[in-house]
Amino acid sequence: MQTAATNIFERIGRSQELSEFKYGTVIGCHLCNKSIHEISLLLNIPRATVSGIITKWNQLRTTATQPQSGRPHNMTEWGQHMLKRTVRRSHQLSAELIAKDLQTSCGLQTSTTTVYREFHGTGFLGSASASKPYSTNAMQSAGCSRVKHAATGLKSSETCSLE
């Protein structure tokens, strides 16, 4: 027989998805006029979860997961992968040419604006090269590069704090 203390400790940290059967059992108990507390103790489910299920049932008359709101992404993960691959292969191409290349080679219908947005999201900013071979990880995290120092004529220790 379980005590109330062990019952509480079993429920702490549980974050798994409930089965359709459990959802149906919660709704069945609710329709039989059981309280949220009674349903929680009976099924060993947190009261907040039981309350959420019942609220969803009262509003929508279903416990099925509803589709997400908002506009879907223009480019899928596969499309982002192909874009990165195209940029790494020839990083001197313009966004217009990359959009045309994606359309002809992969069949992706993307606009130049989408390509710019994906560039920004993946870290390809402006006309900078895809990699800076002479910068260290510490310098990159500090926001410094040897290109900056070569342009100003300063040593890296004079302008960047790498501590």
pLDDT at 162: 47
pLDDT score, position 126: 58
Give the integer Cα–Cα distance in Å for 156 and 150: 9
pLDDT value at position 163?
A: 45
CB 110 within 8 A of CB 102: yes
Q: For residue 136, what pLDDT is reported?
A: 65
Helices within the chain (DSSP H only): 4-11, 20-31, 36-43, 47-60, 77-89, 95-106, 112-122, 137-141, 146-152, 156-159
Question: For the chain, which residues make up each domain, given as ranges?
Answer: 18-60, 77-122
Predicted local distance difference test score (pLDDT) of residue 16: 77
Residues 5-24 pLDDT 10s: 555 545 555 567 889 999 99
Q: What predicted TM-score, i.e. pTM, was given to this entire model?
A: 0.41
Q: How far apart are CA 43 and CA 6, in angstroms?
A: 15
Please check whether residue 146 is in contact with residue 107, taking contact to mean a CB–CB distance below 8 angstroms. no
Amino acid 155: pLDDT: 52
Supply the pLDDT for residue 89: 83
| 30 pLDDT more than 80 | yes
